[in-house]
Amino acid sequence: MLIELENIHFSYSGHPPVFKEMSFALKPGEKVGMVGPNGSGKSTLLHLIMGLLKPSAGTIRLFGEKAETEKTFQKARMRIGLLFQNADDQLFSPTVIEDVAFGPLNMGVGTADARRRARETLEALNLTDHANRITHRLSGGEKKLVALATVLVMQPEVLLLDEPTTGLDEATYRRIVEILQKIEASCIIVSHEYDFLALTTRTVYALKEGKIDYNGDSSLLHSHYHFHPGGVVPHSHS
Amino acid sequence: MIREEFSFGASVMHRLDPRLKLLAATGFSIVVALSTRWMALAGALIFASVLLMFARLPVKSVGPRLFAVNAFVGLFWVMLPLSVSGSPLYSAGPVSVSLEGFALAGRLTLKSNSIVMAFMALAATSSIGALGAAMNRLRFPEKLTLLFLLTYRYLFVIQEEYERLKRAALMRGFKPKTDLHTYRTYAYWIAVLFVRASARAQRVQDAMTCRGFSGKFHTLREDEWTFRDSAWSVVLTAMVLVLVMVEWSPVSCS
């Protein structure tokens, strides 16, 4: 197991609990979609895994190791990448290349190595032309792709994506899908877009009433723009 | 908001190592700020003009900036002669205009213009990112460096947020007037900006933590120290030393 959550309790102070006895596990190679209404705790789940929030009860195991102290989380963060919902939160360096190299520099690889890795990642994502651009002058779609690069450059074994498609145009959307389909890392993708999850994940879980339930195979997911009974293509629902 | 228009260019000032420029600008400013002799101040103005010429910045942009400084300094030409006591040049009843006041205003004008020109030539010819990296490599406190770089980065985001608030208000028929409703609306905007900035700061920190940040700031930029930098460091040091000597030599030359 890469990630194991067991009987997790969590609440923000002064609010009803987000998770009650919640359990969830991510196996190597798994690509999992996570759906649920606003406020059901999708982002909270990702932040608990990264150790940005601490559960009031329950155990988190990352790569087989019990994660309780900041130190274990720090180690795990080198192997888990989190793509934040808002790319502006993730890109804080003056230029694109500096931002992409930020993670590797923190991992302790030298400057030259960090630069090389950053260049390779930008190249793999077709972003080489942007390397020396000022981060805040990028467009929304470019920011998202660069933010993804800042995570991928650390070669994470697990990728957590928090609503990666919100506000993206068609072209950027397709590029994100392509990248995620090629990637080998295990993924947890939080999204409202069923079509996107159907393209990028294999199984889907739903957050409901403080718990995470297995919801079925992603291929069954799609949004409906047609009148259901009159649909021509035969299909079934779980 | 910050366009960094002076940082684009290929003059010798643009190509100098940002560390050298940062140190030179700081040293020059301190000496000028402490100087009082006219010779030293005039020398400073000449040196700063020379540096500015080497930077070859567009006159169209330099002019308005110097104008802004001097418009503010102009106020002192009115206030200081009236408020500084000394030998009166002219007096009418309780109001007297002093020579010392004019002298002080004159010094202030020379100092502020020299310092602003030196900073335009030395600091503004590097991008903010390059200056941040230089601060880091000069072992400035990391917190200061990060604060400097993050402020630069998120000013734009806060400005965008402000524009959004303003548009939303204008769309609903808000017209600024001199009344309580207007003041309250402005106060709400400021409050919302503070709350959002603080929430964003938390998210940015989270994002940095996730990528392994633990307080140590690394920089990717490594400007090579060249012969040109060595040569110019001699020139710049000499400039500052000449000013020091003129100002603090026992022989009075003013």
B196 lies in the same domain as B94: no
Q: B interface mutation test: which of A105, A161, A188 has the most B CBs within 10 A?
A: A105
B120 lies in the same domain as B142: no
B18 lies in the same domain as B120: yes
Residue A230: the pLDDT is 45
B175 lies in the same domain as B81: no
B171 lies in the same domain as B193: yes
Is A94 touching B (CB cutoff 8 A)? yes
Does the distance separating the beta carbons of B210 and A94 come in below 8 Å?
no
Q: Please tell me the distance in Å from B155's CA to the nearest CA on chain A.
A: 10
Q: In Å, how far are A2, A84, A150, B98, B205 from B210, measured between CA atoms?
A: 17, 10, 11, 63, 9
What's the average model confidence in pLDDT over B199-206? 92
Query: Has residue B60 been placed in a domain?
Result: yes
Tens digits of per-residue pLDDT, B234-252? 999 999 999 999 999 887 5
Is A27 touching B (CB cutoff 8 A)? no
Which residues in chain A are contacts of B207 at CB distance < 8 A? 82, 84, 89-90, 92
Tens digits of per-residue pLDDT, B17-51? 999 999 999 999 999 999 999 999 999 999 999 99
What b/e string do you get for B137-176 counting C-beta neighbours within 10 Å, with b at 16 or more?
beeeeeeebbebbbebbbebbbeebeeebeeebeeeeeee
Which residues in chain A are contacts of B128 at CB distance < 8 A? 94
Helix axes A96-107, A111-124, angle to 10 degrees: 130
Residue B2: the pLDDT is 77
B210: nearest CB among A77, A95, A98: A77
- Asked whether residue B150 carries a pLDDT value surpassing 70, the answer given is yes
Residue in chain B lying closest to A86 (CA): B203
- Range of B115's domain? 5-126+226-248
Residue A97: the pLDDT is 95
Query: Has residue B253 been placed in a domain?
Result: no
How many A/B residue pairs have CB atoms within 8 Å?
85
Q: B interface mutation test: which of A78, A96, A119, A136 has the most B CBs within 10 A?
A: A136
A109 residue type, one letter: V
What b/e string do you get for A74-105 counting C-beta neighbours within 10 Å, with b at 16 or more?
bebbbebbbbbbbbbbbbbbbbbbbbbbbbbb
Tens digits of per-residue pLDDT, B62-75? 999 999 999 999 99
Q: Please tell me the distance in Å from B249's CA to the nearest CA on chain A.
A: 44
- Is residue B223 very low, low, confident or very high in pLDDT (cuts 50, 70, 90)? confident
- State whether residue B11 is helix, strand or coil: coil
CB B71 within 8 A of CB B20: no
| β-bridge mates for residue B98, sequence order | B88
Tens digits of per-residue pLDDT, B76-135? 999 999 888 888 888 888 888 889 999 999 999 999 999 999 999 999 999 998 999 999
CB A92 within 8 A of CB A146: no
- Is residue B5 very low, low, confident or very high in pLDDT (cuts 50, 70, 90)? confident
Does the distance separating the beta carbons of B211 and A151 come in below 8 Å?
yes
- State whether residue B143 is helix, strand or coil: helix
B116 lies in the same domain as B239: yes
Residue B254: the pLDDT is 47
Does the distance separating the beta carbons of B128 and A111 come in below 8 Å?
no
B42 lies in the same domain as B85: yes
Residue B156: the pLDDT is 87
Query: Has residue B254 been placed in a domain?
Result: no
Query: Has residue B216 been placed in a domain?
Result: no
Q: Which residues of B touch A (CB under 8 A)?
A: 127-129, 132, 149-150, 152-154, 156-157, 200, 203-204, 206-214, 216, 218-222
Is A155 touching B (CB cutoff 8 A)? no
Q: Please tell me the distance in Å from A105's CA to the nearest CA on chain B.
A: 6
B162 lies in the same domain as B52: no
Q: What is the pLDDT along chain A (238 residues), one digit of tens a residue?
A: 999 999 999 999 999 999 999 999 999 999 999 999 888 999 999 999 999 999 999 999 999 999 999 999 999 999 999 999 999 999 989 899 999 999 999 998 889 999 999 999 999 999 999 999 999 889 999 999 999 999 999 999 999 999 999 989 999 999 999 999 999 999 999 998 888 999 999 999 999 888 998 888 887 766 554 444 444 566 666 5
Residue A233: the pLDDT is 60
**Number of domains making up chain B:** 2
Query: Has residue B195 been placed in a domain?
Result: yes
Residue A125: the pLDDT is 93
Does the distance separating the beta carbons of A86 and B220 come in below 8 Å?
no
Residue A192: the pLDDT is 87
Query: Has residue B191 been placed in a domain?
Result: yes
CA pseudo-torsion sign A84, A87, A89, A93: positive
B97 lies in the same domain as B163: no
Query: Has residue B181 been placed in a domain?
Result: yes
- State whether residue B90 is helix, strand or coil: strand
B141 lies in the same domain as B175: yes
The full 3-state SS of A12-41, as one line of letters, equals: CCCCCCCEEEEEEEECCCCEEEEECCCCCC
Query: Has residue B115 been placed in a domain?
Result: yes
- Is residue B219 very low, low, confident or very high in pLDDT (cuts 50, 70, 90)? confident
Does the distance separating the beta carbons of B206 and A47 come in below 8 Å?
yes
Is A54 touching B (CB cutoff 8 A)? no
CB A7 within 8 A of CB A21: yes
B20 lies in the same domain as B145: no
Name the DSSP letter for residue B225: P
B11 lies in the same domain as B112: yes
Separation of alpha carbons B214 and A155, rounded Å = 19
- The token duo for B166 is 């303003």
